[in-house]
Copies of this chain bind each other. A is one copy, B any other.
Amino acid sequence: MGKTMQLVKDMLSGQRLALARVISKIENRDPDLSELMAGIYPKTGRAQIWGITGPPGAGKSTLADRITHCLRKEGKKVAVVAIDPSSPFSGGAILGDRIRMQSHTGDRGVYIRSLGTRGRHGGLSHATKEVVLALDAAGFDRILVETAGVGQTELDILKLAQSILVVLVPESGDSIQVMKAGLMEIADVFAVNKSDRPEADSLVRELATMLQLGVSLQPHDSEKSWLAPVLKTQGNKNLGVEELVAEIEKHQEYLTQTGKRDLKVRDFLMNEVSDILVERLNRSLKGAFNTSSGAELLDQLVSRKIDPYQAADIISKV
């Protein structure tokens, strides 16, 4: 057995060190990646993937931690993947993981890992999806994917989640900001966190009104459509968390019953193939510009003798 397949085997048998190494290989886009994923992929498809998103400071991490405790009580193995657009100035992902892990020390049913931003053209989102596949294969029942912000990468990452929890706080800003953030369409469940603060109730009402309006505008069969519930939570006091988990579980049942889970899987897989091909394209492009003919092409671009479309044509023909 090759080294890579041995590593996969160790990971599948529950060795945490092997899992950590697999994740590092995925993050670093290891040359063995396709072999690695060939070993992992057949064992995937069992885990439920929950996305958690919302503006910075909404209390997503605390809530993810509470949800993890709640799921542990149900006997589920839980992995948390936090997307951390960390700065070179900060200690970043590793320090964050240590702090997060503390409340689960010694619990082998919990695995927490932060991923930093890297690359362009969905480099991060692709790596994140493969990390989630690895955690699925490694036997975690629930994988929580936590993203801050609402950029296109985050939305792309959230596509792999079957249920998306959007966490807001009363001071998130007015409803226009919420709409702008593009969160209304992707939410399957809303948590109004820090709900002891004033204006929590008005945010709940506002969200409910907007959601009702959205559903009535949608043309499709209303019996089959899901109206995202809006729940009040206080992550720091562990209030409302069980109810939140129950709603997400209800959404998972809904996905199964309506056949929407299968559609999501198909979309996800098409995107996976696309991500792989885009990644290969970008790698070969990088190489192309590093040759002498590539440098010449770039000079012609800079001097505006050719335009980027012509350059793309030339590169395609090589």
Question: What is the interface of chain A, defined by CB distance below 8 A to chain B?
Answer: 33-34, 37-38, 40-42, 44-45, 55-57, 84-90, 117, 120-122, 124-125, 148-156, 173, 176-177, 179-182, 184-185, 210, 213-214, 217, 262, 265-266, 269-274, 276-278, 280-282, 285, 289, 298, 301-302, 304, 307-312, 315-316
Contacts and interface: CB of A to CB of B under 8 A. Distances in A.
B277 A316 contact: yes
Contact of A282 (B265, B278, B311): B278
B214 A89 contact: yes
A183 to B, nearest CB: 8
A152 B124 contact: yes
Contacts of A289: 270
A308 to B, nearest CB: 4
Given A57-B173, A277-B285, A315-B277, A87 B185 contact: yes
Nearest to A177: B56
16 contacts: A37-B308, A41-B307, A41-B308, A44-B304, A87-B184, A89-B184, A89-B217, A120-B122, A121-B122, A148-B181, A149-B149, A149-B150, A149-B151, A151-B152, A152-B153, A281-B281
B120 A213 contact: no
Nearest to A42: B304
Contact of A278 (B85, B276, B278): B278
